[in-house]
Amino acid sequence: MAGISCYSPLLLSSRSILGSSLLVVKGKPLRRAFLIKAQVEFVNAEEAKKLVALEGYAVLDVRDKTQFERAHIKNCYHVPLFVENTDNDLGTIVKRQLHNNFAGLFFGLPFTKPNPAFVQSVKSQFSPESKLLLVCQEGLRSAAAAQRLEGAGYDNIACITSGLQTIKPGTFDSVGLKELQDAGKAGLVTIQGKISTVLGAVLICKFYEDTSSMLPLESLIFLRVEFFYSQTLKLVDILQEVNSSSKISMAT
C-alpha cells in the first residue's frame, strides 16, 4: 500500500478508506502519513446487476436459511452470517422463548447467533482475489459480512445499499415463492391489514345495533347474515394463514 505525505484533504472513491499513521525518521515522529486501502463498494440494484453481468462478480447471500428459502437470486452462493441458535443452556432457552413470543411471532424472525464458520466457509469456496457481491435483506448483514471478509484479506467486495428489499421484480432472476424484496416479510405483520378488517367489522356490527330501530326487520336480518358470513370467511382465512406460518417457522 502506498503512503501519501500531505496535509490537504483527499478526495477518495467509494472503494477507498483513509487511515493515518506516524512517519518515523531516526526514531522520532516527524509527521503524519495517510494510507489508502481498499474498502467495500456500495451500489444500487442496477449497478449490482452490471457487476455480476459485466465484471464477473459472484453473488454471495449472507441471509439466514428462512429468508434465503423464501427467495434468492438464481445461481447465487449461500453462506449465512447468522445461523439458528439451538443451544440449550438456561439463558439461551429464556432468550429463545422471549424472542419467539415477540420477534418470531410478529415478524417471523428466527432465533439466531453469529456463524462461527462464516469466514472459513467463504474461504473454502472463494479465493481472496475473488469478486464478491454480498447481499442480505436490509443491507446491514452484508456490510457486517464485508467487514469480516476484508479482515480476512478479501479486497474486491461490493454490497447492495439497503439490501434486497430495494430490488424491483425482474432485476435479477430469482428462485422462491416470494419476490426478493418481500423475502423478509413474515409473521403477523404480513396480515395486519386483514386483522384490521376484522376489528373494523366489530365496529360496524356495533353501528348496526345502534341503527337497528331505523331499518325494517327483513333488511336488518339480511344485512347481518350477509355481513357475518363474509367476515367469518375472512377470519377463517386469517387463522389458516397464521397456522400455516407457525408450522413453517417450527419446521425451519
209 is written with which cell numbers? 345495533
- The grid cell for 191 is 396480515
Residues 13, 17, 21, CA angle at the centre, nearest 5°?
A: 140
Q: Known catalytic residue: 136?
A: yes
Q: Which residues contact 81 (CB under 8 A, 6 or more apart)?
A: 62, 63, 114, 115, 118, 136, 141, 144, 145, 148
Cell of 160: 447492495
Q: Determine the Cα–Cα distance for residues 39 and 157; give it in Å rounded to an integer.
A: 8
Choosing from 6, 76, 136, 159, which is the catalytic residue? 136
The percent of the chain in helix, strand and coil, each rounded to the nearest 5, is 50, 20, 30
DSSP letter assigned to residue 3: E
Strand 72-73 relative to strand 174-175, pairing = antiparallel
Please state, in angstroms and rounded to a whole number, the distance separating the CA atoms of residues 234 and 206.
19
Asked if 96 and 85 count as a contact pair (C-beta separation under 8 A), the reply is yes
**Is 73:180 a contact under the CB 8 Å cutoff?**
yes
CB atoms closer than 10 angstroms to residue 72:
22
Catalytic machinery residues: 136
